[in-house]
Amino acid sequence: MQLTILKSKLHRAAVTDANLHYEGSIGISRDLMDAANILPYEQVDVANIANGARFTTYVIELPAQSGEIVINGAAAHLVNVGDRVIIMGYAAFSPEEAKTHKPQIVRLNEKNEVAG
């Protein structure tokens, strides 16, 4: 049996742009992807703190140190620039692995920089 467990999270990322006329995905600054151990094209869930909207998409890499969090495609209807979101990646673990797994949680400040 495999259990789906939180692998990593970017907490309180600020949306820097929303582009409706794009194929879809969430763009994340490469340094933030690295900090949270998120890979390009990885499936993630996104929860909008401002309005409660939740959606599933995949990650595309944006330039490192850009601080960008860009919501593309239909999901752009679910956010406004400046909204805070939680970006969550998951992985499959055996029950034994799940007992000791600790997710990589990265808290961000108002400039989308790693906070402390």
25 included as an active-site residue? yes
- pTM of the entire structure? 0.96
pLDDT in tens, 1-55: 999 999 999 999 999 999 999 888 999 999 999 999 999 999 999 999 999 999 9
The answer to whether residue 112 is domain-embedded is no
Look at residue 114 and tell me if it is in a domain. no
Q: Tell me: the pLDDT tens digits for 52-101?
A: 999 999 999 999 999 999 999 999 999 999 999 999 999 999 999 999 99
Q: Is residue 90 part of a domain?
A: yes
Q: Whole domain around residue 60: which residue ranges?
A: 3-107
Residue 16, domain member (yes or no): yes
Residue 98 is predicted with a pLDDT of 96
Question: Considering the domain boundaries, does residue 19 fall inside one?
Answer: yes
Structural domains of the chain, count: 1
Q: How many CA atoms lie within 13 A of 102 on its CB side?
A: 2
pLDDT tens for residues 86-95?
Answer: 999 999 999 9
Residue from 58, 66, 90, 94 carrying the catalytic annotation: 58
Give catalytic status of residue 58 as yes or no.
Answer: yes
**Residue 82 contacts by C-beta under 8 Å, 6 or more apart in sequence?**
14, 15
**CATH number of the domain within which 69 lies:** 2.40.40.20
